């Protein structure tokens, strides 16, 4: 059965770019700094169509409206809207919204690819660096320990609000060829690959649809903005932060082993200081990473909204957030065990020092007694 090619009356293509910009961001300070400058207003984010009792941010991120930017897509000039959302754990999520009006489905799907080719991770478009530098300059005072690595995650969304004809939502994947948009591939895919791409489909009402993949999503939402967009942003931000701390601990573990070995080589009665100092350092690292990862885990709380809970859980599973989080937990456990061992060794060294001191005092008393006698 051939696919249809309906007209897309109203839609948008959203390119997301999440950056680990700092260890932490003081959102109140950032909001005050932004308000003091002649710039568009800022707001503390909340989900637009969902009761706060059902879904809420742990600490509401700060959403900023940035200046629109000109883009050339598929040979045409357009003006894209730009926003940034700041999370307290140091992530900044930039979003570029490319509006689409009156084009057929195939052209819309091609436009999604054009946005990916221009702004996607392979393109390395300078606009992302420009936006990051703009925020660093304006809000650097609110950011603690700016990141030098600028680790990032990208995600692409095709969000359609209306078609020019009635499209069956329940069987939209059979009515319209959604696979090229979801995969970014122009060559025909195998039946198994197509089935895998279309597996994560969600609907709550009879006229809405969300399909998720690893790096793209398609959303049909006739009522306007979708909270699913925010859900996917948070999931990507969580993945980014977990990746950052996973890589941080990967670098820290060999350094820790070297320091432990050096402390063992300094096998003297005063070696307890080496062990105690190293143990304190490891304890501080564990405490800092644990605090941040808890903030990341609690960035969004989904309780009563079953639909968004399902979408959120599916996104976390697709992005393998729990897998990376488990890797971080395992490495933290290794460091905790090392800390406990070092603490015990430091206690043992102090015990040895006390024993030597007691022996020295006994010897001193004996010598004094001999001299007196």
CA–CA distance, 21 with 249 (Å, rounded to integer): 18
Q: Which two tokens stand for residue 64?
A: 């900023």
In terms of domains, do 25 and 158 share one? yes
- Judged against a pLDDT cut of 70, whether residue 45 lies above it is answered with no
In terms of domains, do 217 and 311 share one? no
263 beta partners: none
User: What's the alpha-carbon Rg for the chain, to the nearest Å?
Assistant: 28
When the pLDDT of each residue in the chain is averaged and rounded to a whole number, the result is: 83
Better pLDDT: 89 or 123: 89
Output the pTM of the full model: 0.83
In terms of domains, do 212 and 250 share one? no
In terms of domains, do 114 and 247 share one? no
How high is the pLDDT of residue 39?
63
In terms of domains, do 102 and 242 share one? no
- Pick the last residue of a domain from 225, 259, 281: 225
- Pick the last residue of a domain from 225, 245, 267: 225
Is residue 200 situated within a structural domain? yes
Contact call for residues 276 and 353 (beta carbons, < 8 A): no
In terms of domains, do 293 and 365 share one? yes
From residue 157, alpha-carbon distances to 5, 204, 232, 315, 363 in Å are 19, 19, 10, 13, 80
Say which residues have a Cβ less than 8 Å from residue 56's Cβ, sequence separation at least 6: 46, 47, 300, 301
Say which residues have a Cβ less than 8 Å from residue 288's Cβ, sequence separation at least 6: none
In terms of domains, do 213 and 247 share one? no
How high is the pLDDT of residue 40?
62
In terms of domains, do 49 and 104 share one? yes
Task: Mean pLDDT check: name the lowest of 109-118, 180-189, 313-322, 326-335.
Answer: 326-335
Is residue 2 situated within a structural domain? no
Split at pLDDT 50, 70, 90, the class of 324 is confident
Total number of domains in the chain: 2
Split at pLDDT 50, 70, 90, the class of 5 is very high
Predicted confidence (pLDDT) per residue in 75-87, tens digit = 788 899 999 999 9
In terms of domains, do 94 and 203 share one? yes
pLDDT mean over 41-64: 66
In terms of domains, do 221 and 240 share one? no
In terms of domains, do 211 and 70 share one? yes
In terms of domains, do 275 and 293 share one? yes
Is residue 102 situated within a structural domain? yes
Is residue 365 situated within a structural domain? yes
Q: Which domain holds residue 148?
A: 7-225
Query: For the residues of 214-236, what is the DSSP string, one character each?
Result: SSEEEEE-TTSS-HHHHHHHHHH
3-class DSSP assignment, residue 49: coil
* Kind plus residue range of the DSSP H or E element containing 146: strand 143-146
- Pick the last residue of a domain from 225, 255, 289: 225
How high is the pLDDT of residue 162?
94
Better pLDDT: 271 or 355: 355
């Amino acid at each position: 059965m051939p696919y249809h090619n309906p007209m897309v009356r109203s839609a948008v293509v959203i390119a997301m770019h999440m950056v680990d910009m700092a260890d932490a961001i003081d959102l109140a300070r950032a909001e005050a700094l932004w308000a003091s400058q002649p710039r568009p207003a800022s707001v503390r984010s909340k989900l637009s169509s969902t009761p706060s009792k059902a879904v809420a941010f742990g600490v509401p991120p700060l959403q900023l409206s940035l200046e629109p930017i000109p883009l050339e897509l598929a040979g045409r000039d357009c003006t894209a809207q730009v926003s940034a959302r700041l999370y307290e754990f140091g992530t900044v999520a930039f979003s570029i919204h490319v509006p689409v009006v009156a084009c057929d489905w195939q052209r819309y799907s091609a436009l999604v690819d054009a946005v990916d080719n221009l702004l996607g991770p392979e393109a390395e478009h300078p606009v992302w660096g420009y936006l990051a530098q703009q925020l660093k300059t304006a809000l650097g005072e609110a950011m603690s320990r700016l990141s030098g690595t600028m680790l990032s995650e990208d995600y692409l969304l095709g969000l359609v609000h209306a078609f020019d004809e009635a499209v069956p939502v329940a069987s939209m994947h059979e009515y319209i060829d959604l696979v090229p948009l979801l995969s970014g591939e122009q060559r025909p895919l195998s039946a198994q690959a197509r089935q895998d791409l279309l597996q994560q489909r969600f609907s709550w009402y009879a006229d809405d649809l969300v399909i998720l993949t690893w790096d793209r999503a398609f959303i049909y939402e006739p009522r306007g903005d979708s909270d699913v967009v925010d859900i996917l942003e948070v999931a990507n931000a969580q993945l980014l932060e977990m990746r950052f701390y996973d890589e941080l601990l990967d670098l820290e573990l060999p350094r820790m082993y070297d320091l432990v070995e050096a402390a063992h080589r300094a096998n003297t009665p005063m070696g307890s200081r080496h062990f105690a100092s190293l143990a304190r350092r490891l304890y501080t690292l564990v405490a800092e990473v644990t605090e941040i990862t808890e903030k990341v885990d609690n960035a969004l709380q989904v309780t009563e909204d079953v639909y968004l809970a399902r979408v959120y859980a599916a996104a976390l599973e697709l992005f393998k957030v729990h897998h990376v989080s488990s890797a971080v937990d395992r490495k933290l456990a290794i460091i905790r065990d090392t800390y406990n061992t070092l603490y015990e060794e430091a206690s043992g060294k102090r015990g040895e020092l006390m024993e030597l001191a007691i022996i020295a005092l006994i010897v001193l008393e004996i010598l004094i007694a001999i001299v007196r006698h």
